[in-house]
Structure 1
């Protein structure tokens, strides 16, 4: 699955993979922008990054 910050770069990566023969690569078009809005979804990393200002 391809993802990125907003979904745009994931589409470009998927196009490149498709041209290389990998045709079954899904795109999570909501990407991190959407995922981060759902507080009950898992995220790993530095806790200070995930806290609201």
Structure 2
């Protein structure tokens, strides 16, 4: 969907935390969810607007 998006770096302390993080790989967002995320985080702005919450 967004070829420039990279993967997060996770830092689990326990196997349970690692298992929970790995399960996130099975999550698939539908087109509506992806469109909404694109509205919230358009990715076309430059700093500092990108980092303004």
Q: TM-score band, normalised by the shorter chain? A: under 0.3
Normalising by the residue count of structure 1, what TM-score does the alignment of the two structures yield?
Answer: 0.28
Please state which structure has a larger fraction of its residues in helix: 2
Considering only CA atoms, is the larger Rg found in Structure 1 or Structure 2? 2
Q: Which of 1 and 2 has higher RCO (CA within 8 Å, sep 6+)?
A: 1
Normalising by the residue count of structure 2, what TM-score does the alignment of the two structures yield?
Answer: 0.28
